[in-house]
Structures are given as structure tokens and as C-alpha cells.
Amino acid sequence: MPSLLIVHHTMTGGTRQMAEAAAAGARTEPGVQVRSLTAAEAGPADVLAADGYLFATPENLASMAGLMKDFFDRCYYPALDRIQGRPYASLVCAGSDGSNAARQIDRIATGWRLKAVAPVLIVCTHAQTPEAILAPKHIGDADLGRCRELGAAMAAGLALGVY
């Protein structure tokens, strides 16, 4: 049975909501095992065991979250040359732009020679003040719906052997 690994980090809850929605969408595909782990929990064995990946991070200071970077630091070399060609997509929860975090994930995925199967899904919270940036986030239904659709599409592609 093919498996989808969702790796995520959150500090204010927004990215967790997005990852949970993607996992819920992926779980609608009965022929795919879905594992959702925090960046701190996930390790090289999880990466090697998965057939596809969904990486979810907030953008912090125009960069992916530090714990996501730590995940990639810990997993990059153990997985290098062992996962090429596998599909991936990414989710970014951003206060304004999100493109720098997306680019960082894409560069790492390029090094792993993963195959992007969807454009990055960026949800903008418009949090611009210190108070708004640090406040718990609530992701709207429309954006969560897009996350569910991405998860479902990833799982369907894995189940059908498209990727």
C-alpha cells in the first residue's frame, strides 16, 4: 500500500490546521496509508518509508520555520539518492508572502530529486504586527478546503500509480 508522509510544524496553529485538512483529504483515498508527523517527530526512517510527501511550514522571518529546517537537516543526507523521483507538494502559512519558505523547500526537494506534483499552496493570514503574528491562527474554510483537495489529490495519485 503506498504511503503519504505529511511533515509539519506550527507555532500558532495555522499550519497544523492546514496539515490536518490535507491529511483528512488524503484519508478519503482508501488505498493509501497517511502518516502525519511534526517536524520534531519525523526522521530519516519516516522519509525513506514514504512514497510521497507533503511538507507544511509557516513562514517565519521570510524563511521556513526553524524546526522544519531541522527536519530537513536531519533527513537530507540519510535520504539522498534513495528517494529520487518521489512526488511532493508543500503548504505554507504566511503573514504576507510565503514565497521564500516555498523556495527553500523546493531547493531541498530539488536536491533530493523529488517531483513537484502541485504548485505550493500558500495561505496568507495577513498578520503584520507582533501581536497578530504571535496570536493563534484560524484558517478559513475555503483555504482548508484547498488543503483537503491537495491531500486528496496526492493520495489519489499515489493510489493510481500516477506518480
For position 42, what pLDDT does the model report? 98
Across the chain, mean pLDDT equals 97
Q: Could you tell me the pLDDT band of residue 158, with boundaries at 50, 70 and 90?
A: very high
Residue 80 DSSP one-character state? T
| Contact status, residue 61 vs residue 25, Cβ threshold 8 Å | no
Residue showing cell 491562527:
137
**52-60 and 63-64 as β-strands: parallel, antiparallel, unpaired?**
antiparallel
Predicted TM-score (pTM) above 0.95 = yes
**All domains of the chain in start order, with CATH:** 3-160 (3.40.50.360)
Q: What is the largest distance, in Å, between two alpha-carbon atoms of the chain?
A: 45
Give the model confidence (pLDDT) of 70-84 as tens digits. 999 999 999 999 999
Nearest alpha carbon to residue 112 among 84, 141, 145:
84
Give the model confidence (pLDDT) of 30-67 as tens digits. 999 999 999 999 999 999 999 999 999 999 999 999 99
* Buried residues in 29-44 as b, exposed as e (16+ CB within 10 A): beebbbbbebbeebee
Give the model confidence (pLDDT) of 71-130 as tens digits. 999 999 999 999 999 999 999 999 999 999 999 999 999 999 999 999 999 999 999 999
For position 92, what pLDDT does the model report? 98
